[in-house]
Amino acid sequence: MHVEQLTSQVSVSGQITVEDVKDFVDQGVELLVCNRPDGEDEGQTEYHLIEAEAKRLGLPFKLLAFSSYQIKPENRDEFINLIESRKRIHCYCRSGARSKRLWREANFIVGGEAEYDAKCGEKNKA
């Protein structure tokens, strides 16, 4: 699984498994967010299984699922509230792109884009 660190606070990835949850706990993630509705693909790990493991390990979990390219203002506003908690957040969906789009929409309002752009610029120099 590829994890992309968007800012020091927010990271995204594609679909995770129950076994991945401990890694996020070990990395200091303070909130796990699922942006993917169940049933999109055969074999997809259902969110309630990941949520149960997160809760077992003491990691707060939030379901903020929406269909790809269907971000509503309510989704964005709810994610803004999560960002404003200042917790380290990891979001996941099928590929990570949907979570990244949600972050971009929320981050545009709350700021912090410069940190992301600087990181992308560093990658392009390498």
pLDDT band at 50 (very low <50, low <70, confident <90, very high): very high
What is d(CA 23, CA 26) in angstroms, rounded to the nearest whole number? 5
For residue 25, count other CB atoms closer than 10 A to its CB.
16
Share the mean pLDDT of the chain.
90
Q: What is the pLDDT of residues 63-116, one digit of tens each?
A: 999 988 789 999 999 999 999 999 999 999 999 999 999 999 998 888 765 665
Q: Is residue 105 part of a domain?
A: yes
Q: Is residue 126 part of a domain?
A: no
**Domain CATH code at residue 39:** 3.90.190.10
pLDDT band at 43 (very low <50, low <70, confident <90, very high): confident
CA–chain centroid gap for 87, Å, is 12
Q: Is residue 124 part of a domain?
A: no
Q: Is residue 18 part of a domain?
A: yes
pLDDT band at 41 (very low <50, low <70, confident <90, very high): confident
Could you list the residue range(s) of the whole structural domain that residue 7 is in?
Answer: 3-117
- Our count of domains for the chain comes to 1
